[in-house]
Chains A and B, each alone.
Chain A
Amino acid sequence: MTKDDVKQIVLDIIAEIAPDEDLSDIKSEVRLRDQLDLDSMDFLDIVMELRKQHGIEVPEDDYPELASLDSCANYLQPKFEAKASA
């Protein structure tokens, strides 16, 4: 799974939990909160959907890793790969 694949997974989740947002021009390196109307409950939604849809756990201490699409990809890619090879 490439980092772009991971970014797309995160974007798909955001499209679900923040349906009013325009996701067509999201900058990977910029904090999601600075581009979108997302609050702490929305980030918990992202964590929950990663768990439910993909079996990926994000411990609370690691929540800052979900700040931007780039940081999401860096943090989540190894988890998806570990999951795929498990």
Chain B
Amino acid sequence: MERDPAKRIVITGLGLTSPNGNTLAEYRQNLLAGQAGVQRIPMRYMGEVNAGVCDYDPMKYQRRKEVRNGTRAGSVAIYCSQEAIANAQISWESVNKARVGVYIGTTEHGNVETENEVYNISQFEYDTKYWTHHHNPRTVANNPAGEVTMNMGIHGPHYTIGAACAAGNAGLVQGAQMLLLGECDMALAGGVSESIHTFGIFAGFKSQGALAEHEDPNKASRPFDKSRNGIVVSEGGAVYVLERLSDALDRGAPIIAELAGWCINSDATDAVLPNPERQAQCMVEAIRRANMVASDVHLVSTHATATPQGDIQEAKAIIEVFGSCPNTYINNTKSFIGHAMGAAGALELAGNIPSLDDLTVHPTINVDELDPECAIPNLVINEGKTVQRVDTILNNSFGMLGINSALIVKRFVD
């Protein structure tokens, strides 16, 4: 186990917005109460669709002009980053802004603005002189992270990490790595999603036969249930303040948890179909790098998106790694909030972190009839479960083009 505090990375702040909560406390309360947050929204060209929508107040940290000229992903990233700094009990004025890095994971960026502008010029016979000059600053891939730096006066490095739906984990990994390399002294790291504002994401999943349908929006996202029929797309974000333990201790920071290990690997098999063998390898490698064995992990937050095949594949991978670990419990957050895409990994981890203190595993809801092919031992279904120990959480996030990520956090012990 790494003992050098300059080589240990800790979480010292957390800010989020989710379809069922705009603070960790509110989000956690709803996860324990079984309260989902999915609704029907109108979608251009498609009629109504199920979606997870956030209702945070952008005006809390932005001027109206910033909201108008910026992107939804940028706004979400700003809200989460500002909330994270507030949560970290930092005197922001005294922070050297040149030593703060911003690393935001995204599944995609630019679709929203491009679709909006194509629609806009369609109202003007496709004359491109009506195409907005805001298009390029809005669609550059670093936009959400860049908006954070402009809003908060941060002068250190910033960029986004494109990692499909593994992006939330990938943002956290990137932040940790940059701290270990000495590229920054404080990292704002996590993931964001604005995907509910692009019809293309919905239409693409629908064409793929992977868009969830249910008469009750809050029952549409149902991982591991026999009648699951696809994904509910959501927006949201979660940004963490990461610091080297040595710096966190020096400033007397509240330490929420420690990053214990991680792994990102690639299936190299199919653009959309998952590969349970590689998923299992990813989890095993993350556990190895954390100097743990599988039974040291007490909670596994699954990626499962409620597609018929994907859930079975992840269940296989988890059973392979944790099938003989009687004290490892399994849950899923997408059943509450849908799939928050680039934010998913960071948001799902956030909702589970309080388990380190309250020893309660929030359930996966909407399992009316468990699919026998998804019957993972210790899957916590429909009701939360208080357990003996939660010292360690492993957070799975997988994405298209065969990207897998597993991130392990543990309770901080000096």
Give me the interface of A with B, judged by CB distance under 8 Å: 17-20, 37, 41, 44-45, 48, 51-52
Which of B65, B69, B130, B133 counts the most chain A CB atoms within 10 A?
A: B65
From A18, A20, A45, A48, give the contact of B130 (CB < 8 A): A48
Give me the interface of B with A, judged by CB distance under 8 Å: 63-65, 68-69, 124, 129-130, 132-134
Q: Once A and B bind, how many residue pairs between them come within 8 Å at the CB atom?
A: 22
With contacts A20-B65, A44-B133 known, what are 11 further pairs, Cβ within 8 A? A17-B65, A17-B68, A18-B65, A19-B64, A19-B65, A20-B64, A45-B133, A48-B130, A48-B132, A51-B129, A52-B130
**Bound complex: CA A70 to CA B134 (Å):** 27
A41 in contact with B69 (CB, 8 Å): yes
Nearest chain A CB to B116's CB is how many angstroms away? 14
Residues of B within 8 A of A20 (CB): 63-65
A41 in contact with B133 (CB, 8 Å): yes
**Bound complex: CA A17 to CA B133 (Å):** 13
B134 in contact with A41 (CB, 8 Å): yes
Residues of B within 8 A of A41 (CB): 69, 133-134
Nearest chain A CB to B150's CB is how many angstroms away? 12
Residues of A within 8 A of B134 (CB): 41
Nearest chain B CB to A45's CB is how many angstroms away? 8
Name the residue on B nearest A44 (C-beta). B133
A52 in contact with B65 (CB, 8 Å): no
Residues of B within 8 A of A37 (CB): 65
Residues of A within 8 A of B68 (CB): 17, 19
B133 in contact with A52 (CB, 8 Å): no
Residues of A within 8 A of B124 (CB): 52
B133 in contact with A48 (CB, 8 Å): yes
Residues of A within 8 A of B63 (CB): 20
A-B contact pairs, 15 of them (CB 8 A): A17-B65, A17-B68, A18-B65, A19-B64, A19-B65, A19-B68, A20-B63, A20-B64, A20-B65, A37-B65, A41-B133, A44-B133, A45-B133, A48-B130, A48-B132
**Bound complex: CA A78 to CA B256 (Å):** 65
Instruction: Across the A-B interface, give the 10 residue pairs with the lowest CB-CB distance, nearest first.
Output: A19-B64, A20-B63, A44-B133, A20-B64, A20-B65, A18-B65, A19-B65, A52-B130, A41-B133, A19-B68
Nearest chain A CB to B10's CB is how many angstroms away? 38
